[in-house]
Amino acid sequence: MNAQMECMSCGTTLGIAEIAYTCRECDGLLDVVYDDAPGDPEELKIRFRERRLSDAPADCSGVWRFRELLPFADFSHIVTLGEGNTPLWDVPRAAAWAGIERLTVKHQGMNPTASFKDNGMTAGVTQARAVGANVVACASTGNTSASMAAYAARAGMRAAVFIPDGQISLGKLSQALDYGARTLQIEGDFDAALALVRELSDVDPVYLVNSVNPFRIEGQKTIAAELCEQRGWRVPDRVVLPGGNLGNVSALGKGFMELMDWGFIDRLPRITVVQAEGAAPFAAMIRDKAPTLTPVPNATTRATAIKIGAPVSWPKAVRVLDVCGGEAITVSESEIAEAKAVIGSDGVGCEPASATTVAGLRQLMDCGRASRDEDVVCVLTGHLLKDPDFTVNYHFGRLEPGAELANEPVRVESNIEAIRAALEG
């Protein structure tokens, strides 16, 4: 497919091999746009599926097996860790807690670096290689940096990570360090770190792979295709996503909209974006029907992945809600913590930011904005082990007084009687 980059504000176009993250004329966000459809949808659906039987690295990837939907011509140099192909699971206890008949979760935490970032990063780092970059960089609340560091290492590139000092979970920091990234702890928050790395990438030969980079969004949009494929191409009524920098909602929305335009699906899902109360500039913008986003100066939430006050991709997120329908809502810290423990009780672990989805769905049910028989998919964005401190603190009762599902370990004397008594208790 012939593709180019196009500014979503002024329509200026750029060639696919150009190094640009925003429009050179007006600084608007760039989209990858295609001249034509990728081909016959029914034939392609079969081809996507058949690739699951192949051992070729590109076919083993849940991103690159959808390669006809992507703006790359040469697939011999892709940087892949076999990302995607993540499970879709029924979570009956979480469904009952949210007040809905049935609920499924798509667990993007089951990726090679344990977050949804891998779907976009394989495309971002492949593009970095295609344009001849030697250094990739990003600002991150942890998951983007873990993912970038891994893919850069696979590609033999240097990686520079900008993280807000002391504000990311150790699981994520440990990944960036182990994968060999140069890790800079920046004074200030994520928004400050992102502003700095964007400035650097404008002047130095450093390729930026934050989600403002449109190739990241292209890789990540395949989550929508895979989700539809796993459901026999039946589109859910609603997809619920956490909102931070708003790259993910932009990517999934673009994915669904293209699948619809190209004849793979016959309707769009409603999209619900859920933010933490203390980091909710997008939900506020949508609630107030404001024309632009007003950043939150000191965003706060224990869900550090989405502790973001100035999300860059908000115009794309607005477009997704306009086209798909849906809403942006907020949840409290205690709702996030309870929802996370409920998801855990289904045997599915996720990190706090991911649990906003189930908390948000419960809120929609409570206020009658979603119905019991709706077909809903919540996207879990990161794995439980990304942030074990949060989980342990919750279960020891250190996060929330009266945490309903707290499951504190029990100290037991080392004899059978005491153990029996403890098991009965």
> Given the rule CB under 6 A, which of 29-37, 136-144, 181-189, 321-329 is the region that contacts ligand F0G?
136-144
Which one, 142 or 219, has the nearer CB to ligand F0G?
A: 142
CA distance 315 to 118: 23
Which listed residue (382, 384, 390, 394) binds ligand F0G by CB under 6 A?
Answer: 382
Query: Binding to ligand F0G by residue 142, rule CB under 6 A?
Result: yes
> Given the rule CB under 6 A, which of 40-48, 176-184, 241-249, 331-339 is the region that contacts ligand F0G?
241-249
Kindly give the residue spans of alpha helices, DSSP state H, lying in 12-91.
Answer: 41-50, 57-60
> Given the rule CB under 6 A, which of 261-269, 336-344, 351-359, 417-425 is the region that contacts ligand F0G?
351-359
CA distance 137 to 184: 11
What H or E segment, with its residue span, contains residue 177?
helix 170-178
Which listed residue (112, 124, 247, 309) binds ligand F0G by CB under 6 A?
Answer: 247
Closest separation in Å from C-beta 258 to ligand F0G: 18
Closest separation in Å from C-beta 249 to ligand F0G: 6
Half-sphere exposure of 317 (CA within 13 A, CB side): 29
Which listed residue (211, 301, 330, 357) binds ligand F0G by CB under 6 A?
Answer: 211
Q: Which residues pair with 35 in a beta bridge?
A: none
Which of 344, 119, 131 minimizes the C-alpha distance to 218?
A: 119
Rule CB under 6 A: which of 98-117 touch ligand F0G?
115, 117
Per-state percent for the chain, helix, strand, coil, to nearest 5 = 45, 15, 40
Q: How many other β-carbons are positioned within 10 Å of the β-carbon of residue 52?
A: 12
Which listed residue (243, 281, 309, 326) binds ligand F0G by CB under 6 A?
Answer: 243
Closest separation in Å from C-beta 130 to ligand F0G: 23
Which one, 112 or 243, has the nearer CB to ligand F0G?
A: 243
Cα 293 to Cα 246, 281, 289, 296, 311, distances in angstroms: 12, 7, 10, 9, 9
User: How many residues are there in the chain?
Assistant: 425
Total binding residues toward ligand F0G, as defined by CB under 6 A: 22
Residue number of the CB closest to ligand F0G reads 244
Which one, 80 or 381, has the nearer CB to ligand F0G?
A: 381
The amino acid at residue 340 is K
Which listed residue (111, 122, 140, 222) binds ligand F0G by CB under 6 A?
Answer: 140
3-state secondary structure (DSSP) of residue 139 = strand
341 with 396: CB under 8 angstroms? Answer: no
The footprint of ligand F0G (CB under 6 A) covers 115, 117, 140-144, 211, 242-248, 305-306, 351, 353-354, 381-382
